[in-house]
Structure formats: structure tokens, C-alpha cells
Amino acid sequence: MANKVTIYIENKPYQVDEGLTILEAAKTVGFYIPSLCNWRNHDCSLASCRVCLVKVEGERRLIPSCAYNVREGLHISINDPDAVAARRTSVELLLSNHSMNCQACRKNGVCELLDVSRQVGARPDQYHGAKTPTTLDEVAPGIVRDTSKCILCGRCVEACKKTQGIGILGFQNRGFNTIVGPTENRSFNNVPCIQCGQCTLVCPTGALMEHNNIPELDEAKREGKIILAFAAPAVRASIGEEFGQKIGTNSTGKLAAAMRRVGFDKVFDMNFSADLTIMEEANEFVRRFSQHAPSPMITSCSPGWINYIELNYPELLPHVSTCKSPQQMFGAILKSYYAEKNGLDRSKIFVVSIIPCTAKKYECQRPEMQVDGVRDVDLALTTRELAQLIRRSGINWNRLPNEDFDRDIIGDNTGAGVIFGVTGGVMEAAVRTAYHILTGKEMEPVDFTPVRGLENVKEAVADIAGTKVRLAVTSGMVNAKKLLDEIKAGNVKYDFIEIMGCPGGCINGGGQPYVFPPMLPNEDPDIWETYREKRAAVLYEEDRNKPLRRSHQNPDIQKLYKDYLGIPGSPLAEKLLHTTYNTKREQYPDVTPETKPVTK
């Protein structure tokens, strides 16, 4: 326990932990001082926005409360008239260089800048004058950057550097011309960005957002395409948040109902193809493990992670499973097996995946992700975009019934598939099935808990009929880098590693609903520290309640192999469900007129 000190806010005493900043300490006793650059307590405080100014007795000037530690007997005034006016001026100055296109901005409604503007009472049009030249990058499939909305808070710079260890974004130029962007103001496509979208989760404005692909969906509708959609496991754990439900609410039933009402012709649960991935991946692992090469094998479900290894450790690509991700497998099966069995023209099928991920938008456009020239997945929409679709369709979320996803020769799913959405889930599901492959028996109990939890790197040993299999699970590229450096140095301590691009796995993906604590009055004050656990708990609960919890017991998967694919790893399975990687991907490909962001 930290030592307590007494501070005074408007002359009333409060006991707070020593070592906190005024901003943090005030939060623990029920005061929210408006701020825009601070976002993860100690982790990030550039003190760049100048919004959190307060009066501190004994100081000549107003103090940014995010960069000033509390001490015994400190007298603070948040409601001091000078501080109130200064905070308002800070925000008005930020707004004077902002594009103020709020009605057309997709961030409207979840925009922290607008929320803080309201809180401080910012007045319109206080300062007129020149604006900083702006850049609009819509080149990359995953993320859009619009500096006309940027307030230079630096959160994205810190997020990229600290949670992913990559540092794609940085401040550039000086003074009035300062902007935030990748080196040389390039597009995300022309730098080693993995398009994970973690930067979009912290941006307080609409400067960094997912690439909006809803217009392509409308186009497909106009063309009369058959629209087959499926939703990833992590979406059910978060979509309710978009409609005011508490974080940690399971929305599987409403999700299926909403997708149907949006007008998709069929709506499936991606757990089905997660099970399929496990069949292929567990078999691939057993094959590689018994042949001792090359060890360890690493999972391939996360497209952000695949981007990372291609761009930074191409020499380690032989370690990566050749399995496509569940998204791509589902698309490939819909356009082959499903189309043939239902007599559908595969060129008329338009496959839409609903995913918590911005990197999947990149993945589905990869040249490797097609079969006989037809793309597996035509469109990838994030959880946030689905919410936008639901809103514009006039659907009242609270009145939606609980419905089931479609089951039509495909669609059955197990608890093993649903936990794909959280770090450790793929590993646990794979262990359940690998155990069966190696022993012919079922693993009891079915839960394999050492790989659960949000620790940076989890290690475990699975005892499969006397054979010890060494496992490791990690998420976030800061952590992945440590494991990769070990493998590169020749220290092979594991047989099988699961790596997810985003910290915590897909539940915390770059396309998930924003978690801005000041805008979530009904959540606990520590929600920023706990939201990932709460979303993860939804998936583990759904797993626990499923009658079938092992991928190989999925009846539709068994039928798919019996009637169509043969066995895992068969030539047809290889063709549809496995892929190759780009060992020659350039970190900084030359910028061409087509890949240059628009500057004004």
C-alpha cells in the first residue's frame, strides 16, 4: 500500500496515495479534471494539451495537473475562475486549428474533444487565422489518418511505441507546421506499420480511424450480390457497448438478430471457421512436432502479427503455421463447399466479415488470400462499422430479440472456437484437439487454464500422454519481439507459440468500441484497467456453456471433412485453407503518386 497524504481540493481535505499526479489523485476521490493528452495514468503524460490546468496554492502559474505530483498539505482549486478560463482557452485554441467538420465525422458521439469542449464550455470561433497544412491518408486499407482533426496530443505516438514497440507515428516539422504521422508523412502502407489500429483506440478525435468500407457493401447490394456475413468471436463481447450496454455483456443473440436485420442474406458465426482452423493447425502442429522441424511453430491467426513478422523477422517465417486465419478460411469455404452444395454462383457471392480488427481489412486484400483468382473475403467491417450499420438501419438494439446464427451445412460451432477472441484461446483450443489427435482420447478436464489471463508472456507445459509440449502465449508486439529475438538467437524453449497482434487479443482489437472512461459514467472508475478482462470473461463464459467444447467434435466440421476436404492437410485443404507469406516485404517501399497521402 502506498503512503497516504492529505490534499485539499477547494479547501476540503482528501486522503490520496502518495506518488500520484494531481490528475490521478483527483480521480480517486471523485473529480474528473478534463484532459486530452493523458490516457494511461503514469504511462502517458506529455502535458501537451494544456487542458488539465488547475490552481495550486504557492505556485505562480496554473499547473498542468497531469504533470505535478501530490504532496502533503497541497491546496488545489479546480473551480478557480482563472483555471476555468484557462482550460476553456486551451480547448478553444485547439479547436481553432481543428477542421470542425463534426456533423460529417464518424467520431461524432464518441469524440473526446467534443466532450471536453462541452465540459469546459468552449465557445465557437474564438480565434481566426491560418490553419496548419493538412494531410489525409486514405491509402492504407486498415487505418485512415486525417491531420486536420489532430490536436497533437501524442497519445497515438505513445501507444504505437509502448504497446506495440514499433513507433510508426511521430511528431514532425516544427512549430505551426507540426503534424503527427509516419516518417516523411508517408501512408501507413509505405512504412512498417502492421495496421493493428491500437492508435485508433486512443485518438481523442477523428484523426485516426478505421478505413470505412460501408460504401463497398452498398455497392455490392446494388449489384444484387448474395451477401454472406459472419461475425468473429470477439465482436459479441463488445458490440453491446456501442448501444450503452455495460462492458462485459454477452451479445451473441442480439448480434445474430441485428446482422439479419441489417440485410445480410446469411449470418454465420465465425467460431465455425475457428474450429476449422484448429483442425488444420493442430494437425499441422502434430506433424511438425513429430518431425522436429522447424521448432517452435507459431500461430498465424492475427493479421497484425503476420504483418509484423513479415516486416521485421522474415527469416523466422518458416516457423509460422501456414494456416490461413479463420476469416480467410471461412471465406474460402463459403465460396467453394457452401456454394457448390447450395448451387450458388461463386462470382455472385459477396463475403463480409465482421471483425474486431483493422489489420483484417489489409489481410482480405492480400494477393495470397484468393483461390483461383476469386478473393476469399470481399469486405471486412469492424465492430464499430457494424454498429454504424445497425444505427443507420434504424434498428433499436434494446428491442432486438436473441436469435441464433444460421446453420446450413456449415455454422455449427464449439466452445473452442469462441475463445479465439482472447489471448491464449487459440492455444487452449489447439491443445484440446492436439490431445485427441495424439492419444485418441479426450483431454479431461477440458479447460487448460495456464494459458489464460492477460500477462505479457504466459508459459505452460501440456502433458499429452507423457509427452511434454512446451507452450508460450503472448500478445502485443513489445512482448512478441522478446520471444522472436530468443528464437533468432537459437534459444528454443518452446514447441508451440501463440502470438496475437493486439495486447489481450482480439477483444482489445483496433476495431473494437472505444473505451473512454470519462464518457462511460455507468462503468467502474477503473474500467480502463479492467475492460479487457471483462470482455475476455464473456468469451470464457460462452465456452463454458457450450454443449461441445472441442473443435474436432463439431458435426459440421466432421461432415465438411467427410464429404469434401478429406483429411486435414489434404491437397484440397492445402489449396483452400493454407497460404504462403511474403518473405521479401519492404519496410519502406518507394512512394508512388497512388500511394502518396493527399496534402493541402
Partner 1 sequence: MQLRKEAVEVVVQICDRYKDEPSPLMLILSDVQKEYGYIPMEVQQIISAKTGIPVSEIYGVVTFYNFFSLEPKGKYVIGVCVGTACYVKGGQNVLDKFAELLKIKPGQTTEDGLFSIDNVRCLGACGIAPAVSINGKVYPKVELSKVGSIIQEYRTIEQKAMEA
Which of 210, 241, 242, 284 is labelled catalytic?
284
Name, in order, each residue with C-beta under 8 angstroms of 509's C-beta and a sequence gap of 6 or more. 196, 197, 234, 355, 356, 357, 358, 382, 383, 502
Q: Which of 53, 89, 69 is nearest to 21 (CA)?
A: 69
How many chain residues are in contact with partner 1, going by CB under 8 A?
Answer: 18
Residue 171 CB, nearest distance to partner 1 (Å)? 5
Q: How far apart are CA 327 and CA 405, in angstroms?
A: 16
Q: Which is nearer to partner 1, 179 or 279 (CB)?
A: 179
Examine the residue annotation and report whether 368 is marked as an active-site residue of this protein. yes
Q: Three-class SS of residue 468?
A: strand
* Three cell numbers, residue 73: 498539505
Residue 126 lies near partner 1 (rule: CB under 8 A): no
Examine the residue annotation and report whether 35 is marked as an active-site residue of this protein. no
Examine the residue annotation and report whether 184 is marked as an active-site residue of this protein. no
> Which part of the chain contacts partner 1 (CB under 8 A), choosing from 22-30, 177-185, 231-239, 532-540?
177-185
Segment 186-245, which members bind partner 1 (CB under 8 A)?
A: 191
Residue 590 CB, nearest distance to partner 1 (Å)? 9
Examine the residue annotation and report whether 506 is marked as an active-site residue of this protein. yes
Task: Identify the residue whose cell numbers are 504521422.
Answer: 181
Strands 349-355 and 379-382: parallel
Q: Which is nearer to partner 1, 177 or 291 (CB)?
A: 177
Q: How far apart are CA 89 and CA 475, in angstroms?
A: 41
Q: Which is nearer to partner 1, 31 or 188 (CB)?
A: 188
Name, in order, each residue with C-beta under 8 angstroms of 410's C-beta and a sequence gap of 6 or more. 268, 272, 333, 334, 337, 338, 556, 560
**Binding marks (x or -) toward partner 1, 560..589, rule CB under 8 A?**
---------------------------xx-
CA distances from residue 431 to 55, 415, 467 in whole angstroms, order as listed: 57, 13, 13
Tell me how far apart the 2 most distant CA atoms of the chain are, in Å. 80
Q: How far apart are CA 213 and CA 504, in angstroms?
A: 26
**Binding marks (x or -) toward partner 1, 385..424, rule CB under 8 A?**
----------------------------------------
Which of 57, 219, 340, 368 is labelled catalytic?
368
**Binding marks (x or -) toward partner 1, 479..508, rule CB under 8 A?**
------------------------------
Decide: 25 and 34 in contact? Cβ < 8 Å: no
Decide: 542 and 418 in contact? Cβ < 8 Å: yes
Q: Which is nearer to partner 1, 166 or 416 (CB)?
A: 166
Residue 575 CB, nearest distance to partner 1 (Å)? 38
* Three cell numbers, residue 294: 522447424
Residue 132 lies near partner 1 (rule: CB under 8 A): no
Segment 136-175, which members bind partner 1 (CB under 8 A)?
A: 157, 161, 166-174
Cis peptide before 296 (omega within 30 of 0): yes
Query: b/e for 582-591, b at 16 or more Cβ within 10 A?
Result: eeeeeeeeeb
Which of 158, 210, 280, 281 is labelled catalytic?
281
Which of 77, 300, 321, 475 is labelled catalytic?
321
Examine the residue annotation and report whether 216 is marked as an active-site residue of this protein. no
- Establish how many alpha carbons lie within 13 A of residue 507's alpha carbon, considering only the half-sphere containing its beta carbon: 28
Looking at the DSSP assignment, which residues form a beta bridge with residue 457? 474
Residue 54 lies near partner 1 (rule: CB under 8 A): no
Q: Which is nearer to partner 1, 314 or 569 (CB)?
A: 314
Residue 12 burial (10 A CB sphere; 0-12, 13-18, 19+)? exposed
Examine the residue annotation and report whether 459 is marked as an active-site residue of this protein. no
Q: Which is nearer to partner 1, 194 or 333 (CB)?
A: 194
Residue 486 CB, nearest distance to partner 1 (Å)? 17
Which of 149, 324, 360, 361 is labelled catalytic?
360
Examine the residue annotation and report whether 360 is marked as an active-site residue of this protein. yes
Residue 500 CB, nearest distance to partner 1 (Å)? 22
Residue 478 CB, nearest distance to partner 1 (Å)? 12
Q: Which of 113, 44, 404 is nearest to 231 (CA)?
A: 404
Helices (H), 302-439: 303-312, 326-333, 339-342, 359-363, 383-392, 415-418, 425-439
> Which part of the chain contacts partner 1 (CB under 8 A), choosing from 176-184, 376-384, 458-466, 541-549?
176-184
Name, in order, each residue with C-beta under 8 angstroms of 307's C-beta and a sequence gap of 6 or more. 193, 194, 195, 196, 359, 362, 501
Q: Which is nearer to partner 1, 162 or 407 (CB)?
A: 162
Phi, psi of 226 (to 5 degrees): -85, 115
Q: Which is nearer to partner 1, 110 or 152 (CB)?
A: 152
Examine the residue annotation and report whether 444 is marked as an active-site residue of this protein. no
Residue 15 lies near partner 1 (rule: CB under 8 A): no
Residue 184 lies near partner 1 (rule: CB under 8 A): yes
Q: Which is nearer to partner 1, 169 or 232 (CB)?
A: 169
* Catalytic site positions: 281, 284, 301, 321, 360, 363, 368, 506
Q: Point out which residues bind partner 1 (CB under 8 A).
A: 157, 161, 166-174, 181-184, 191, 587-588
